[in-house]
Amino acid sequence: MNTRSMRLALAGTAALALAMTPALAGAAPGNPGEPRFQEGDPGAGDPYFPLAGNGGIDVLHYDLDLTYQLPEPEPAPLEGQLDGVATIELRATQDLHRFNLDLRGLTATKVVVNGKSMRFDQVDNELRISPRPKLKTGDEATVEVTYGGATTRPTDIEGALYGWVTTRDGAMVVSEPDGSATWFPVSDHPTDKATYAYEITVPEGSVAVANGLLEGSETADGQTTWTWDAPDPMAAYLATATVGDFELDSYVAENGTPIIDAVDPALPDSASANLALTSDMLVFFEGSFGPYPFNSYGAIVDDDSVGYALETQTRSFFSRRAGESTVAHELAHQWMGNHVSPGRWADIWLNEGWASYASWMWSEEQGRASAQDSFEDVMSIPADDDFWDVVVADPGPLCLFCGAIYDRGAATLHALRVEVGDDAFFELAKTWVEQYGGGSATTADFSALAEEVSGQDLDAFFQMWLYDAEKPTDW
Ligand code: TRP
Ligand code: ZN
């Protein structure tokens, strides 16, 4: 759901009024309830990624039926084949004669809306669909897109691998910030959360690991279909359907959360040993952030490397090795980033600052470096270092994952804790999750809540820590 489409609808009405002749302008307007059909905006309105997400629609659910053929053995190129049918339930938030979904590098061959074949085309990374009958505000529609193509190794705006990353034994699927469009037609912005269900068919012997709970797997004619259910609202960048050689390990954590880990058996035991800390970490973070928000958790530890870990919802992804502080970081993201997601990509420090801070807290809990020690490490960076040049709350699309977003973000939270005291700080953390969980929120929402919970004026504090491109001078 987003409010931008509402503003566009109002702007359209005003423009029409201006275009009317003076005589007509004085006359009573036409039936105010009469629909004015428009094209949905091609983006959700995020200045960093103007074409990510889509105006005029609110996606409620994705049902992804995927069939994947792995690349041939070396020396064949790293190229697979993905064929999908995405059944998407959505609601119109404007009167629409056309709307878009994001789809990149794959070809749609058929689009069915409410049971009828529709006209569509693809321009750059936008799939444009013309529903007939047209959709009125509030109408729900089922949109079935048949699509497919060769899969490669896509990269993000910084050149880092992301999206459906083809590997020799399958695919690593890690899409932050706007890579979901490389594997399904999607409203690819965190303000448009939806529920997900998957049926993923892969060659027998391969395992497909997605978000949520495993419903089952069935093998026929040398192919296995893996069925996963992810009923907790999720931002598209957190969806995964990773394929590879995996061993699945299921158990129930101490807090009652069902855990499913998927570990590549080619890796040494040390690669996944820290996953044994998950249960204790869940209990610890519940103490600070409130109840774990999803139906399940677990990790994917893949032998291929994108070089990063990602907090894919309910099933964090790790390349090659799950280090202890990274295990804590990705788990904390489930509350901070996943349950409460950024309202715009400029707000990324709310994800990375909180997840990094949580990992400082875990270290202290384990009797190693305290949060104060970690804070002092960051503050020991000299004032003339480039590190301090980043505007944390508006880093630009090329600096979403700069070191300062993580470390100065975490230091900001520690300084805030010192400023308002432990009681207000942890009340803020829990209230933040409670108030915005299931949706998204911005830096302005955060600073407003911090002021409300603490009863303090924090304007100067947040200005110095989040908006000044220099080292804070007092804390
Ligand atoms: N959010 C990840 C982390 O800090 C980092 C990340 C950003 C990433 N984009 C990615 C990881 C794409 C994998 C793929 O935990
Ligand atoms: Zn992170």
Structural contact between residues 58 and 1, judged by C-beta atoms closer than 8 angstroms: yes
Q: Is the CB of residue 302 below 6 angstroms from any atom belonging to ligand 1?
A: no
Q: Is the CB of residue 322 below 6 angstroms from any atom belonging to ligand 1?
A: no
Domains and CATH numbers, the chain: 3-36 (no CATH), 39-242 (2.60.40.1730), 246-334 (3.30.2010.30), 342-467 (1.10.390.10)
Q: pLDDT digits over 352-384, tens only? A: 999 999 999 999 999 999 999 999 999 999 999
How large is the average pLDDT for residues 234-254?
A: 98
Helices in 242-370 by DSSP H: which ranges? 278-289, 324-333, 348-365
SS (H, E, C) 195-237: EEEEEEEEECCCEEEECCEEEEEEEECCEEEEEEEEEEEECHH
Ligand 1 atom showing the smallest separation from residue 337 Cα:
1
Q: Is the pLDDT of residue 23 over 70?
A: no
How large is the average pLDDT for residues 14-25?
A: 34
Task: Identify the residue whose C-alpha is closest to ligand 1 atom 7.
Answer: 176
Give the integer Cα–Cα distance in Å for 438 and 120: 32
Distance, CA 337 to ligand 2 centroid (Å)? 8
Q: Is the CB of residue 407 below 6 angstroms from any atom belonging to ligand 1?
A: no
Task: Find the ligand nearest to 176 CA.
Answer: 1
Q: What is the mean pLDDT of the chain?
A: 93
**Dihedral over Cα of 382, 386, 387, 388: its sign:** positive
Distances (CA, A) of 106 to 53, 70, 130, 151, 274: 17, 16, 19, 8, 37
Nearest to 57 by CA among 157, 149, 156, 126: 126
Confidence of residue 6 (pLDDT cuts 50, 70, 90): very low
Q: pLDDT digits over 296-307, tens only? A: 999 999 998 777
Q: Is the CB of residue 311 below 6 angstroms from any atom belonging to ligand 1?
A: yes
Distance, CA 162 to ligand 1 centroid (Å)? 9
Q: Is the pLDDT of residue 130 over 60?
A: yes
Ligand 1 atom showing the smallest separation from residue 179 Cα:
12
pTM comes to 0.93
Distance, CA 355 to ligand 2 centroid (Å)? 6
Distance, CA 310 to ligand 1 centroid (Å)? 5
Distance, CA 116 to ligand 1 centroid (Å)? 39
Task: Identify the residue whose C-alpha is closest to ligand 1 atom 5.
Answer: 310
* Predicted pLDDT at 28: 38
Which DSSP string do the residues of 342-375 spell out, in sequence order? ESSGGGHHHHHHHHHHHHHHHHHHTTSS-HHHHH
Task: Identify the residue whose C-alpha is closest to ligand 1 atom 8.
Answer: 310
* Of 25-39, 124-138, 189-203, 218-232, minimum mean pLDDT range: 25-39
Task: Identify the residue whose C-alpha is closest to ligand 1 atom 10.
Answer: 176
Residue identified by tokens 């007939």 is 132
Q: Is the pLDDT of residue 350 over 60?
A: yes
Q: Is the pLDDT of residue 280 over 50?
A: yes
Q: Is the CB of residue 352 below 6 angstroms from any atom belonging to ligand 1?
A: yes
* Of 35-39, 152-156, 261-265, 285-289, minimum mean pLDDT range: 35-39
Q: Is the CB of residue 162 below 6 angstroms from any atom belonging to ligand 1?
A: yes
How large is the average pLDDT for residues 397-408?
A: 98
Q: pLDDT digits over 53-103, tens only? A: 999 999 999 999 999 999 999 999 999 999 999 999 999 999 999 999 999
How many separate helices (H) and strands (E) can be counted in the chain?
10, 22
